[in-house]
């Protein structure tokens, strides 16, 4: 009886799947608007000829247009940013008091901590940069699209299942007894903790992380191929823009770093599930994981920071009214950072008891990598020095980037010194330092880019006053939160703790006060980001329309970039044909065919 | 609309303004570190750099922060001004 029931169920599912397949084939004639990846032809149509994009949600599910995929990456990243930000806010709220009062338990805190780290680095940081790179690199280099448009789409569509797997523990815990909550092994996933925790959410997170790594690698291959082979006639290496240079270097780093992370993750999964001993004390040892992880992990820092530096190097001169000072040196420093970033990983492991001679050499390279970063800062400031500055919102974020980057960078130089690191390792000083970089610099550069190009991708203006509020709340919030963390570190307070009533490093009152200050900053950050989302969404529908191809008046300084020339052509064609937004294909340099058959 | 932002600030004024505010901020941060450090157990009474030794308190650390950041960033600022005067079109 049970057997018959199963057969009936299988047949039913088969019929259902068949029905879905038939429905999909009837829904759209896919090939009518999907250009072939290799630029080939179907029948007598060219692969580049767009007819018309389908309307509604189907457009977004089927698109291979680099601009649409850029928007998809951006939307995805903003959702992840909200998730990661709310996780951080919950943690900060918990830390207002010394004991657990708001969250159900310390394991929930650990899960939020893990989710915050993984989400912000892999589901927000890397994708938001891919959003910019997808939308703008082809425009900057005068290409029709990415070299492999379909691989581009696949790379994006690996991300949503990746995110669901990474967050799966939170969703599944109420329904499955085995899942005790979100994964709580921290973003660094150090064994033996990560190998021994029995929660299956950890396995799901590792699989999700693996997917995002595959996605990033596919994207990187695509960017390298695009920048090498798809440049327009007038775009050579000598006049390649600074943002594309940083994306190219970043893609090279991804190509070497992410596959290694993927391999290490698989080894960890095997240790967890199949009894291998790659990272067990009796096997390869727990330090092996740290070496593999940080060989990926430190280049990852530069994977996240190079394109934002590219955005700043691109946007800041536009509002300083002069070209970037020492362009060549900014490119050289980008390449130097790319190479050196693979030689600093063990500075994360100074306290693990590794050979002191190794330690000293990693300290030397870690101090050396500060030099190319300082060269960039030097050039940004010199650009401003000789310029005439317009304090628009993107410019405010650029200046905010530079000042936060200096604080984050200098605190990092101290950590690179072994004696200082031995004292401050695993304290809040480290957390404060890297948040100055990831929030104060990387996110600020993202905001600068989002505001600067808003007239282009939204076709409308954002609300200026709200944008200024967003900047000042973010700037003050960032410094309040993360400087309080630096002080917590000086006070000897260890990171990753959910409670601190029994601590012995100093009076609980002082620690509590510093935590409350950091939380006050987090409130400002939260309010600022709510204002930002409101501004972005609301202006997208109701903002005044952009009617000129040079909305920032850059022409008067001779600073108008290629992307705005493209935008002007798009505006002109839109008006000429009286068509809607769907006429974008023309502006790619392709042809619009009015095919009536 | 941000296009309306046509007023310009001289770059030098801007950078010098930033320099001043960063030095002021360094003094503030120094004072805060001077407040926090003494509460930690096992911290010595005095701190210093080379021949300069001083008691750990907010005022001393504020002065230390301002002088230290002021001198090091000031040196870079002078270097930057010199390079930029030498190569105005770089």
Q: Which of B5, B81, B84 sits opposite A391 (nearest CB)?
A: B5
Structure tokens at A20: 């879905």
Tens-place pLDDT, residues A77-118: 999 999 999 999 999 999 999 999 999 999 999 999 999 999
Query: What residues in A contact B76, CB-CB < 8 Å?
Result: 378
Structure tokens at A497: 């703790």
CB of A414 within 8 Å of any CB in chain B?
A: no
pLDDT of residue A29: 57
Please name the residue of chain A whose CA is at the shortest distance from the CA of residue B38. Answer: A491
Q: Which of B8, B9, B84 sits opposite A382 (nearest CB)?
A: B84
Residue A517 scores a pLDDT above 60: yes
Q: What is the mean pLDDT of chain A?
A: 90
CA distance A165 to chain B (A): 41
Residue A578 scores a pLDDT above 90: no
CA distance B23 to chain A (A): 12
Q: Any idea what DSSP says for residue A50?
A: B
A192 prior amide bond cis, ω within 30: yes
8 Å CB contact of A389 and B11 = yes
Structure tokens at A251: 């893609």
Q: Interior CA angle at A32 toward A29 and A36, to 5°?
A: 120
Containing structural domain, residue B79: 9-86
8 Å CB contact of A403 and B22 = yes
Please name the residue of chain B whose CA is at the shortest distance from the CA of residue A544. Answer: B1
Tens-place pLDDT, residues A331-389: 999 999 999 999 999 999 999 999 999 999 999 999 999 999 999 999 999 999 989 99
Query: What residues in B contact A505, CB-CB < 8 Å?
Result: 40-41
Please name the residue of chain A whose CA is at the shortest distance from the CA of residue B22. Answer: A403
Query: What residues in A contact B36, CB-CB < 8 Å?
Result: 487, 490-491, 510, 514
Structure tokens at A137: 């690199």
CA distance A567 to chain B (A): 16
Query: What residues in A contact B90, CB-CB < 8 Å?
Result: 325-326
CB of A504 within 8 Å of any CB in chain B?
A: yes
Tens-place pLDDT, residues B21-73: 989 989 999 999 888 888 777 778 888 778 888 888 999 999 999 999 999 99
8 Å CB contact of B40 and A505 = yes
Of the candidates A354, A345, A441, A453, the residue with the CA atom closest to the CA atom of residue A398:
A441
Of the ranges A61-65, A521-525, A587-591, B76-80, which one carries the lowest mean pLDDT score?
Answer: A587-591
CA distance A148 to chain B (A): 36
- CA separation for the pair B40, B32 (Å, rounded): 13
- CA separation for the pair B16, A235 (Å, rounded): 37
Which domains, ranges and CATH numbers included, belong to chain A? 61-388 (1.20.210.10), 424-546 (no CATH), 550-588 (no CATH)
Q: Any idea what DSSP says for residue A434?
A: H
Q: Which of the listed ranges A38-42, A232-236, A578-582, B46-50 does the model predict with the highest average pLDDT?
A: A232-236
CB of A456 within 8 Å of any CB in chain B?
A: no
Query: What residues in B contact A390, CB-CB < 8 Å?
Result: 5-9
Q: Which residue has the tokens 């001198």?
A: B71
Residue A576 scores a pLDDT above 60: no
8 Å CB contact of A504 and B36 = no
Tell which phi-psi region holds residue A426, choosing left (phi > 0), alpha (psi between -120 and 50) or beta: left
Q: Interior CA angle at A75 toward A471 and A217, to 5°?
A: 110
Contacts of A401 (CB under 8 A, 6+ apart): A308, A312, A440, A441, A444, A445, A448
Tens-place pLDDT, residues A544-574: 999 999 999 999 999 999 999 999 999 988 7
In a domain, B3, yes or no: no
What is the SS3 assignment for A267-282?
A: HHHHHHHCCCCCCCCC
Q: Any idea what DSSP says for residue A34?
A: -
Asked if A367 contacts A281 with a C-beta cutoff of 8 angstroms, the reply is: no
Q: Which of B3, B4, B39 sits opposite A510 (nearest CB)?
A: B39
CA distance A551 to chain B (A): 6
CB of B85 within 8 Å of any CB in chain A?
A: no
In a domain, B2, yes or no: no
Interface test with A, best of B4, B11, B47 (most A CBs within 10 A): B11
Mean pLDDT, rounded, for A122-135: 97
Question: Positive or negative, the Cα torsion across A525, A528, A532, A538?
Answer: positive
CB of B49 within 8 Å of any CB in chain A?
A: no
Structure tokens at A493: 């307070």
In a domain, B1, yes or no: no
Count, residues in chain A:
597
In a domain, B55, yes or no: yes
Helix (H) or strand (E) holding B47, with range, is strand B46-49
pLDDT of residue A3: 65
Asked if A530 contacts A89 with a C-beta cutoff of 8 angstroms, the reply is: no
CB of A387 within 8 Å of any CB in chain B?
A: yes
Judging by DSSP bridges, how do beta strands A41-42 and B46-49 pair with one another? unpaired
In a domain, B4, yes or no: no
Domains contained in chain B, number: 1
Q: Any idea what DSSP says for residue A48?
A: T
Distances (CA, A) of B32 to A290, A473, A546, B63: 35, 21, 47, 12
pLDDT of residue A491: 87
Asked if A354 contacts B50 with a C-beta cutoff of 8 angstroms, the reply is: no
8 Å CB contact of B90 and A325 = yes
Helix (H) or strand (E) holding B70, with range, is helix B58-86
Query: Percent of chain A scored above 70 by pLDDT?
Result: 91
Asked if A543 contacts A463 with a C-beta cutoff of 8 angstroms, the reply is: yes
CB of B36 within 8 Å of any CB in chain A?
A: yes
């Amino acid at each position: 009886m049970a057997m018959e029931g199963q057969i009936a169920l299988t047949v039913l599912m088969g019929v259902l799947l068949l029905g879905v397949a038939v429905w999909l084939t009837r829904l759209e004639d896919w090939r009518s608007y999907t250009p072939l990846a290799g630029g080939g032809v179907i029948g007598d149509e060219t692969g580049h000829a767009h007819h018309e994009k389908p309307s509604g949600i189907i457009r977004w599910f089927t698109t291979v247009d680099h601009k649409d995929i850029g928007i998809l990456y951006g939307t995805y990243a903003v959702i992840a940013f909200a998730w990661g930000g709310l996780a951080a806010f919950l943690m900060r709220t918990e830390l207002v008091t010394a004991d657990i009062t708001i969250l159900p338990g310390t394991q929930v805190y650990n899960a939020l901590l893990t989710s915050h780290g993984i989400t912000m680095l892999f589901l927000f940081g890397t994708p938001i940069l891919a959003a910019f790179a997808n939308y703008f690199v082809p425009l900057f280099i005068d290409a029709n699209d990415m070299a492999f448009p379909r691989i581009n789409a696949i790379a994006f569509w690996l991300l949503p299942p990746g995110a669901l797997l990474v967050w799966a523990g939170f969703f599944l815990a109420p329904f499955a007894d085995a899942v005790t909550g979100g994964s709580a092994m921290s973003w660094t996933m150090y064994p033996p903790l990560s190998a021994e925790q029995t929660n299956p959410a950890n396995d799901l997170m590792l699989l999700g992380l693996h997917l995002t790594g595959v996605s990033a690698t596919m994207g990187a291959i695509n960017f390298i191929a695009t920048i090498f082979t798809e440049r327009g006639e007038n775009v050579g290496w000598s006049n390649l823009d600074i943002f594309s240079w940083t994306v190219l270097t970043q893609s090279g780093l991804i190509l070497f770093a992410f596959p290694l992370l993927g391999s290490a993750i698989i080894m960890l999964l095997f240790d967890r599930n199949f009894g291998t001993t790659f990272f067990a004390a009796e096997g390869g040892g727990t330090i092996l994981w740290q070496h593999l992880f940080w060989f990926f992990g430190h280049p990852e820092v530069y994977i996240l920071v190079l394109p934002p530096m590219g955005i700043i190097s691109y946007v800041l001169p536009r509002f300083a009214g002069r070209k970037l000072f020492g362009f060549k040196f900014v490119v050289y420093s980008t390449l130097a950072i790319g190479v050196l970033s693979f030689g600093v990983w063990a500075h994360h492991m100074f306290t693990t008891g590794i050979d002191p001679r190794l330690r000293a050499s990693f300290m030397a390279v870690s101090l050396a990598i500060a030099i190319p970063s300082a060269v960039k800062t030097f050039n940004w400031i010199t650009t401003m020095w000789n310029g005439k500055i317009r304090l628009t919102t993107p410019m405010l974020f650029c200046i905010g980037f530079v000042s936060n980057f200096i604080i984050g960078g200098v605190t990092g130089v101290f950590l690179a010194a072994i004696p200082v690191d031995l004292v401050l390792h695993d304290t809040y000083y480290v957390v404060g330092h890297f948040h100055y970089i990831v929030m104060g610099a990387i996110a600020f550069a993202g905001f600068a880019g989002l505001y600067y190009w808003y007239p282009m991708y939204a076709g409308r203006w954002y609300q200026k006053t709200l944008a200024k509020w967003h900047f000042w709340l973010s700037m003050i919030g960032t410094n309040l939160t993360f400087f309080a963390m630096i002080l917590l570190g000086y006070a000897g307070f260890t990171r990753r703790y959910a409670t601190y009533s029994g601590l012995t490093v100093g009076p609980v009152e002082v620690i509590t006060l510093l935590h409350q200050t950091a939380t006050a900053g987090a409130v400002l950050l939260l309010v600022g980001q709510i204002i930002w989302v409101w501004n972005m969404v609301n202006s997208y529908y109701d903002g005044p329309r952009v009617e000129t191809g040079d909305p920032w008046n850059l022409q008067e300084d001779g600073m108008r970039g290629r992307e705005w020339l493209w935008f002007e052509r798009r505006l002109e064609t839109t008006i000429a044909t009286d068509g809607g937004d769907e006429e974008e294909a023309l502006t790619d340099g392709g042809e619009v065919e009015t095919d009536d058959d | 609309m941000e296009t309306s932002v046509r007023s310009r600030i001289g770059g030098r004024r801007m950078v010098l303004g930033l320099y001043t505010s960063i030095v002021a901020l360094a003094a503030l941060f120094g004072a805060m570190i001077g407040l926090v450090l003494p509460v930690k157990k096992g911290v010595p009474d005095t701190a210093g750099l080379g021949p300069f030794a001083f008691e750990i308190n907010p005022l001393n650390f504020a002065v230390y922060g301002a002088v230290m950041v002021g001198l090091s960033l000031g040196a870079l600022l002078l270097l930057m001004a010199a390079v930029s005067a030498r190569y105005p079109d770089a």
